[in-house]
Structure 1
């Protein structure tokens, strides 16, 4: 089981499985798996030892179908210390997602940063979780991951603290990388912290930006998420990202909010 199956005849081609399905349409993907797939391809684009992805910005150009996808990436700005990578995901209808990523050189030797200026604060992983995602779809992204809420819930309006773990690889035959885990989890910020009734309103994110000052350790990523809706129908979801050892970074999503 995996979210995507690789194509033995084309390394840029990936076949979407039912685990990628989103909560509202049987034919469209949740944005978490394709965001992680973009991260998968970005990390494999001309990899450089001693470099690490520090930011990924994903533009969601339209619904991502449960269909074969072509994902390509290239370095568009190379340098000694930083480089910019662009990636594109396309279906037979054309591009459905685009991403840019900054890859930065990791300092060696390690910089002597005073401890008081380092992000800190451990988070405790809840022992178990029984939260059920509110959807009529029997198989999808919600069955491919495990949720554990430390505060809030899907059906409780307002901020939430939610831990997320991938149950399956993003791409068959591989182990999810820390970047893939962070991207797959971060796109759930607007879902776990919704403030309006799921049955009455849509809150669709047009993008996902994830900035990481370090990559997660272990399988679990925590979202301390809050949604800011506005009466004119534009909103923002933002999440502080953690693992069990402390802060990782931040993610944001621009939201289109509308009655169903």
Structure 2
């Protein structure tokens, strides 16, 4: 199978999304993971703290992101030598489709007071090889990562845990960094932990918050996700995030749930 080498290809002052960004609901629209990672990349490029750590990313999904040309821009909202707040926006077709605000902090050696890492119960080497079967296209978002089930099932219902590693670059010509990989993966937490079958309902998230006490590292990253449905068509997905060493943080997303 011939796959694109990256999720995005540079094009002038913007990027063109490839088929590896296609989401599960409409073949003309992107999964939110790749554009979230593109925004995280822009945040770190714009930040003024050299070697700083991005500790929280709060995304708003303002509308569907088409599979096609996009532009990103960033600005520092609150500069500082120790702590800074950066905003990045993604536009497509002249409208803002996604935005993120991100807190970044200066780092220092605090290993003497760090909480000991707690590795996941099932590591990536013990996970079951798996692939999503909910995508309409053979080449779509699910092909950007290698997937391994640690618990539950990626395409069934109920809580699930999975490990992933990149099979492509985020931006053509650059290696995908662990933070970028984390954002490509984490928006799929509500997909792997769905409480309703994909043919019965849609459950699109309108936001995503990722809070990290440690930067992700290594080839494999994991998430242990649970979705909870409220009585009014609103859901929430929360996930613990891991690398092979142990937990690195959490994510939470608000879901708009409705019958197909």
Question: Matched residues in 2 for 1:221 and 1:130: separation?
Answer: 15
Whether the 8 Å contact between 1:131 and 1:153 is mirrored in structure 2 is no
* Shift of residue 77, structure 1, vs aligned partner: 0.3
Counterpart for residue 59 of structure 2: 58
Hey, what's the Cα distance between the residues in 2 that align with 1:52 and 1:132?
Answer: 32
Q: CA deviation at 1:112?
A: 3.0
Q: Which sits farther off after the overlay, 128-137 or 241-250?
A: 128-137
Q: Decide which of 112, 118, 121 is 1:120's aligned counterpart.
A: 118
Residue 30 of structure 1 corresponds to 31
Residue matched to 2:258: 258
Shift of 1:67: 1.4
1:183-198 equivalent positions in 2, closer than 5 A: 183-198=183-198
Residue 171 of structure 1 corresponds to which residue in structure 2? 171
1:142-153 matched pairs, under 5 angstroms: 142-153=142-153
CA distance in structure 1 between the aligned counterparts of 2:119 and 2:220, rounded to whole angstroms: 16
**Are the structure 2 counterparts of residues 200 and 128 from structure 1 closer, same or farther at C-alpha, using a change threshold of 3 Å?**
closer
**SS, match of residue 169 in structure 2:** coil
Structure 1 position 119, deviation (Å): 4.4
Match of 2:7 in 1: 3
Query: Do 1:203 and 1:256's aligned partners in 2 also have CA atoms closer than 8 Å?
Result: yes
- Tell me how large the CA RMSD over aligned residues is: 1.5
Report 1:75-224 matches (<5 A).
75-107=76-108, 109-110=109-110, 112-113=112-113, 117-122=115-120, 123-125=122-124, 126=126, 128-224=128-224
2:235 corresponds to: 235
TM-score by length of 2: 0.93
